[in-house]
Structure 1
């Protein structure tokens, strides 16, 4: 794996919003056509995840239907990484990951510049998608 890609994926709670911002291209669940959107990614315990504040998301429905997608790095380094998205349903893992995400987003110095405080853990647990990202074909090591 390229060192620049490793560095771009190694975000921390100190990372700014642009460092977390990527595009993903999924396959439309209803249309079968490529759908590219901008999202944030998170890193918890060395694993990359996709999630959002509580809401239904089209990209999540697309990944449920077709787990293969493209993870596009676009800030600092540009790379199109083939990936597989796996929905996280295990309550303990969801709680652990969402707790880390919420702590990250609620930092007092707020490097991502988001509105604080973010929704409580209970709302994330019941209303937010959570997808583990695994890179394929040696894309990210």
Structure 2
């Protein structure tokens, strides 16, 4: 083996070692991207990252999970007050306490609240699919035009 061949062989060997080291480094970085479970919460999920974007920081408070056709989905703890639930094809759905003023219910695909507002309804067109249509007459057009550039 000539000196030149020996040097080429040594260079090739060094390149292979560098490639192996880079692969190991990338694997380590990928493992570091996995977030750890939130401390102190036994039901917290360890979530991964997608590319360089985290799916979660791992500090979410998980209340529980529910099973769907797509797999288990987390239920996050929240400060919202659940006053009731109702069952749909998608499963149990919460009804949260709110201070939204209502004047009645509309029954289309289930009971839906009718919110109280100052909207003026045009009597001529109120039966279009039994849905109200607001009048084009507005109270203060000058104020609203101030928002247009």
**TM score, norm. by length of structure 2:** 0.20
Q: Which has the higher contact order (CA 8 A, sep 6+)?
A: 1
**TM score, norm. by length of structure 1:** 0.21
Structure number with bigger Rg:
2
